[in-house]
Structures are given as C-alpha cells and as structure tokens.
C-alpha cells in the first residue's frame, strides 16, 4: 500500500522513472513453501552433511540464502505448523500439544494473502487436526498420512485414495494445481511432505540406496546424560525405543488382521509394492539380522546404520521431488517470479545423544533447515547466521508479498536480513516445549538460545536448570548451570529469559519462573 501511494506521488511529481523502479519491486512474487517433516539439517549437503547429498535442496540454497540458525519455538510437528500459520507462539495460538489440534477460529496469514489478491493452496501433509481457513484449495493427507497409496482429503473432508508413493503424488498434485490455477493472480502454495517422518518407508526405487555406506557414529552417540535429568529419563533412544519390527522392518507383518490392520502401513500395499519390500527387507535385511545374532553395542550400532539407511533413502525421494518441482518452475517460466522456500517443521536427531525424534531445546531439534530463493532480490550464496525463528516465517512471507503484517503477530520479517541490510535483530530466541509424557517422555521446558548460550528450565516431573556454552559444547553435553565462574553469564541470561517471557507474554512460564528459585540438581 505504502508503495502504491509512493508510486502515485512519484508519477505526479517526477514522471515515470521512479514508478518503473517501483513496479519492478512491487510485482508481487508467487511463493512456494516446501515444508517437510522431521528432516534434519545434518542430512542436507548445503548444510555440510557428511551423510548424503541433496542436490535439489542445495539448488535452492545456492540460488538464494541458507539460514544456519533458524530455531523453532516448540520442536514438534502440529505446533510448529500452527506457529507458521499464525506468526504466534504456541501459548498464544493455543496449539501446545501435538495431538490437541488447531483452533481454526483464529486468524491465519494466508487470509491476509487472499485479501491482498493471492490465491492460496496447501497440498500434502498438514497435520493440524482441523482444516484452517485461508486456503482456496486444500488437498491434504489426513493426520500423519501414509507413505504408500495414501488417502487425501479436500476442503469438504471428502476422501480420495491415490496409488503410488506419497512424495511423488504430492509433487504431481502440486504441479496439477499450478497448471490449473487462476493465472490472473499471484499464488501462495504450501507443498507439505510426509517425508522424512517415522517409520521411514522409502520409495521402491530407493530401497538399498545406502547399503554400501557405513555411517560415522556421532560424537555424542554414547552420551551418558550426566547432569541432565530429562535426557536421562527420555524415551527416544535408538537402543531401546526404536522398534526393530515397525521402525527397522525386521520381519514385517505384511498382513495383520483386526484392529492392528488399520495402523499397519503394509496392508495398503499393492502386490508389486509388497514383493519389492519383501525382497529387500525380508530376504536381505531380516536375513542379515537373523544371521548376525547381535547384542549390546553391536546391535545398537546395527540399528543406527539401518535407521540412517531408511531415513536417508526416504529423503532421496524428497530431494528428487523437490528437483521435479524446480524443473517445472523452470520449464513454465515461473522460476523468475517465484520465491521458493524449503524448510522442515523442526530438526531431528540422527543418532546424536543416541536418539531419534526431536522435542529438546538442544541443537539438532531446536534448529531446523531453512533455505530460500528469491531471484533478483536475495543474492545467490547468501549465508545467514542471525537467530531466526519459525515465528518469523509468516511475517516474512507477508513482507515478501507486500502484505501488511498484523500487529498481533509475535514474529518479525527477516527479509531485510536476507537482502544484506544491517538492521537491529534479536539476540535471543525464546523456546517452550510442553508435550509430556507421551510419546517420548521428554519433560516440558522453556528457555532461550542466544548466539553463544542455551539456558533452559525443565519442569513437570523434575524442576531443574541447564546451561550450555554452544561455542565450547556444540553437542549440549556439558551442563554448566551452577558451576563456578558462570555466575555473571547466568545472571545475564536469566534476566534475558525473563525479558523474553514478558515480551511474548508467556504467563505460564512467568509463574514457573517466579516460584521459589529452582536450583540445578545435577544427577549422578
């Protein structure tokens, strides 16, 4: 709006030159937001992964910007997506617990885009427990969705089943929607992928893709969780939580009956899909498992290797399909005026601390991958170190599209940072995780991540504090809260934490903070 007024004024005062410039920047770009599920930055080559290559995610990163420190506010799927839609923290949008569901009565930013003349669509995984307003077109997976022969629902909750592999189908549906869209309007499209969510079923063409690779054991794999009570009590280890049968497909039950049948992804298979899985997982993987008769550490490491093979094979299709979508944009001439974002709903553990899953304020689940390409505006090869949060995603998209950012949003547009402007920016990012005890027994906690430190207060089953110096201890192994020499740093961080809680109006956290001061209780 401001731009238009400026343009009219410029026309009146100085003729057309200023206006031509204005027109160029005001040509409202399309935006495609590719949102995957549980895809770790440790598995993306643009982030320096030593595990695999992701040439197509790298294509986006190389053509624009890569964010090294994009944190989330609550490291879990549904709540993260609610933060994306509202630009508000979980305590403000009401979606704290993953299976609780999103309150669709509240405003979401695609409604603003619609008012600004955009057509909006979400295709693929959404996982909000309800269908939000603000989308002209919805074609989404119900709940977590299925990897093979998935059901999709539309805005009227009508179900349709497609034959094939979910990541391929989501790409085909996205291209089909782009083909038939209203070409008189710019668009905002979310392409929501199920990959790489548990239980990591790869596409048939990727079965065995990493069989010749032995992955390095992460430095923190054998973490003893010393001085970290929540880490000691979690239930998300590769060793004891990861299930040989369902997660790693050792002697899969292809034909379960009764109640179990509906939760069994293999009962959806066509005979060809079943044969391909049987040939790989039964004849090769399960046979190897039976023959090796592993126990103890050897078994744990075998599980880790199998986990990474399945996870990364599933990610192969994700990256390939991102490539297909980018090719489509090139072929249709859309690339030039389309902003492409790739992000995951949170980070994920690939064996760090001996874990899979997410939830903790520790680095691998706190930080999520985020790359963005905006031709002509973001310089290719831009690298961003600043602390960006997923609460900033909505305001940034609104800013990119020239749409007013509502005052009630708690995030801020980082478009100026992407374009290299020196602007004042946050030096601490606020975090609050709630879900306990199921499914992975991670105690609730809130805290801040600054450029150098992470300070967290755990509550619920046990009250205690943790403090990490990220520069010295990037794997969050050494809890220095209460240690000599850190008094000043701790006091400053506590002050900052309180300021953040007040700023974002997290009353629940404020109450917990103001209770009798909790001291760290280092565990044995």
Question: Is residue 301 at the binding interface for Ca ion, with CB under 5 A as the rule?
Answer: no
Strands 453-458 and 445-450 turn out to be antiparallel
Task: Give the nearer residue to ligand SGN in terms of CB position, either 77 or 415.
Answer: 77
State the nearest-atom distance from the C-beta of 124 to ligand SGN, in Å: 13
The distance of Cα 284 from the centroid of its chain, to the nearest Å, equals 32
Dist CA 240 CA 162 (whole Å): 35
| Least gap, CB of 346 to Ca ion (angstroms) | 6
* Contact residue for ligand SGN among 54, 69, 73, 98 (CB under 6 A): 98
363 is an interface residue for ligand SGN by CB under 6 A: no
- Which of ligand SGN, Ca ion, none interacts with 473 (beta carbon under 5 to 8 A by kind)? none
Q: Select the residue interacting with ligand SGN from 91, 92, 139, 198 (CB under 6 A).
A: 198
Q: How far is the CB of 194 from Ca ion (least distance, A)?
A: 10
Pick from 345, 364, 435, 466 the residue near Ca ion by CB under 5 A. 345
Structure tokens at 7: 């343009």
- CA-to-CA distance for 179 and 508, rounded, in angstroms? 47
Question: Which CB atom, from 136 or from 357, has the smaller least distance to ligand SGN?
Answer: 357
Q: At closest approach, how far in Å is the CB of 219 from ligand SGN?
A: 24
The reply on whether position 39 binds ligand SGN by CB under 6 A is no
User: Dihedral of the CA atoms 368, 372, 377, 378 (nearest 10)?
Assistant: 60
Binds 199, which of Ca ion, ligand SGN, none (CB < 5 to 8 A, cut-off by type)?
A: ligand SGN
Quick one: three-class SS letters along 402-448? CCCCCCCCCCCCCHHHHCCCCCCCCCEEEEEECCCCCCCCCCCEEEE
Are 342 and 34 contacting, i.e. CB atoms less than 8 angstroms apart? yes
Q: Does 77 bind Ca ion (CB under 5 A)?
A: yes
Tell me which of ligand SGN, Ca ion, none is bound by residue 352, counting a contact when its beta carbon lies within the kind-specific cut-off of 5 to 8 angstroms: none
Q: What are the phi and psi torsion angles at 120 (to 5°)?
A: -130, 145
37 counts as binding Ca ion under rule CB under 5 A: yes
Identify which range of 18-26, 115-123, 196-204, 316-324 contacts ligand SGN by CB under 6 A: 196-204
Q: Which is nearer to ligand SGN, 360 or 453 (CB)?
A: 360
Site map (CB under 6 A) of ligand SGN, residues 118-157, x = contact: ---------x------------------------------
Side-chain-side CA neighbours of residue 13 (13 Å): 8
Rounded to a whole number of angstroms, the distance between the first and last alpha carbons of the chain is: 60
Least separation in angstroms between CB 383 and ligand SGN: 28
Q: Does 201 bind Ca ion (CB under 5 A)?
A: no
Cα(411)–Cα(432) distance, integer angstroms: 15
| Residues 291-330, mask of contacts with ligand SGN (x by CB under 6 A) | ----------------------------------------
Q: Give Cβ neighbours of residue 56 (< 8 Å, ≥ 6 apart).
A: 319, 320, 322, 323, 326
Going through 349-389 in order, the beta strands assigned E by DSSP cover 370-373, 382-384, 388-389
Distance of CA 190 to the CA centre of its chain: 13
Q: Is residue 364 at the binding interface for ligand SGN, with CB under 6 A as the rule? A: no
SS3 content of the chain, % helix, strand, coil (to 5): 40, 15, 45
Beta-sheet strand order (sheet of 453-458): 428-433, 445-450, 453-458, 464-469
- If one asks whether residue 38 binds Ca ion (CB under 5 A), the answer comes out as yes
Residue nearest to Ca ion (CB): 77
Among 136, 352, 357, 466, binds ligand SGN (CB under 6 A): 357
Cα angle 152, 157, 160 (rounded to 5 degrees) comes to 35
Contact residues for 14 (Cβ-Cβ < 8 A; gap 6+): none
Distances in Å between the alpha carbon of 130 and those of 11, 71, 234, 345?
Answer: 47, 25, 29, 17
Q: Which two tokens stand for residue 475?
A: 């794997």
- Residue 200 or 459: the one with the smaller Cβ distance to ligand SGN is 200
Q: Which helix (H) or strand (E) holds 499?
A: helix 487-504
Least separation in angstroms between CB 197 and ligand SGN: 5
Binding ligand SGN (rule: CB under 6 A), the pick from 197, 228, 268, 449 is 197
The phi, psi pair for 4, rounded to 5°, reads: -65, -45
Nearer to Ca ion, 144 or 155 (CB): 144
Using CB under 5 A, which of the segments 73-81, 249-257, 269-277, 437-445 binds Ca ion?
A: 73-81
357 binds, among ligand SGN, Ca ion, none (CB under 5 to 8 A by kind): ligand SGN
Among 103, 111, 168, 199, binds ligand SGN (CB under 6 A): 199
Which tokens belong to 301? 């490491």
Helix (H, G, I), strand (E, B) or coil at 297: helix
CB of 77 to ligand SGN, least distance (A): 3
Q: How far apart (Å, rounded) are the C-alpha atoms in residues 330 and 181?
A: 17
69-77, 130-138, 146-154, 424-432 -> range binding Ca ion (CB under 5 A): 69-77
81 near ligand SGN, judged by CB under 6 A: no
Name the site residues for Ca ion (rule: CB under 5 A): 37-38, 77, 345
Name the site residues for ligand SGN (rule: CB under 6 A): 37-38, 76-77, 98, 127, 197-199, 357, 439-440
């Amino acid at each position: 709006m401001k731009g238009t007024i400026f343009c009219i004024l410029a026309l009146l005062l100085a003729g057309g030159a200023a206006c031509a410039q204005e027109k160029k920047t005001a040509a409202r770009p399309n935006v495609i937001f590719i949102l995957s599920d549980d895809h770790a930055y440790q598995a993306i080559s643009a982030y320096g992964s030593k595990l695999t290559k992701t040439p197509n995610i790298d294509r986006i990163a190389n053509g624009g910007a890569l964010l090294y420190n994009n944190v989330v506010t609550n490291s879990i799927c549904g709540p993260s997506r609610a933060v994306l839609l509202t630009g508000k923290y979980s305590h403000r949008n009401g979606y704290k617990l993953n299976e609780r569901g999103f309150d669709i009565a509240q405003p979401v930013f695609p409604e603003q885009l619609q008012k600004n003349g955009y057509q909006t669509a979400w295709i693929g995984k959404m996982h909000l427990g309800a269908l939000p307003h603000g989308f002209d077109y919805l074609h989404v997976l119900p709940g977590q969705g299925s990897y093979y022969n998935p059901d999709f629902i539309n805005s009227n909750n009508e179900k349709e089943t497609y034959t094939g592999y979910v990541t391929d189908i989501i790409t085909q549906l996205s291209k089909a929607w782009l083909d038939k869209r209203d070409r008189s309007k710019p668009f905002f499209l979310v392409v929501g992928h199920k990959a790489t969510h548990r239980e990591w079923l790869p596409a048939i063409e990727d079965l065995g893709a990493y069989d010749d690779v032995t992955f390095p054991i992460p430095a923190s794999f054998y973490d003893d969780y010393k001085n970290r009570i929540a880490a000691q009590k979690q239930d998300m280890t590769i060793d004891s939580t990861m299930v040989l049968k369902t997660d790693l497909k050792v002697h899969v039950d292809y034909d379960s009956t009764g109640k179990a049948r509906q939760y069994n992804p293999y009962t959806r298979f066509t005979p060809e899909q079943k044969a391909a899985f049987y040939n790989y997982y039964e004849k090769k993987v399960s046979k190897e498992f039976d023959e090796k008769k592993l126990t103890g550490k050897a078994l744990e490491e075998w599980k880790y290797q199998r986990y990474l093979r399945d996870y990364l094979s599933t990610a192969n299709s994700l990256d390939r399909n991102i490539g297909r979508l980018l090719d489509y944009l090139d072929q249709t001439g859309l690339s030039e005026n389309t902003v492409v974002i790739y992000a995951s709903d949170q980070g994920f553990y690939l064996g760090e601390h001996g874990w899979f899953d997410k939830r903790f304020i520790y680095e691998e689940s706190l930080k999520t991958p985020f790359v963005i390409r905006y031709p002509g505006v973001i310089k290719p090869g831009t690298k961003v170190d600043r602390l960006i949060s997923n609460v900033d995603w909505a305001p940034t998209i609104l800013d990119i599209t020239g749409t007013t950012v509502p005052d009630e949003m708690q995030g801020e547009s980082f478009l100026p940072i992407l374009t290299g402007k020196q602007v004042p920016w946050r030096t601490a990012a606020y975090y609050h995780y709630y879900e306990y005890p199921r499914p992975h027994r991670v105690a609730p906690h809130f805290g801040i991540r600054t450029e150098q430190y992470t300070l967290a207060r755990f509550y619920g089953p046990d009250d205690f504090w943790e403090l990490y110096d990220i520069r010295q201890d990037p794997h969050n192994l050494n809890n220095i809260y209460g240690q000599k020499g850190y008094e000043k740093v701790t006091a400053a961080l506590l002050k900052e934490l309180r300021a953040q809680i007040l700023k974002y109006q997290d009353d629940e956290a404020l109450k917990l903070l103001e209770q009798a001061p909790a001291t760290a209780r280092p565990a044995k």
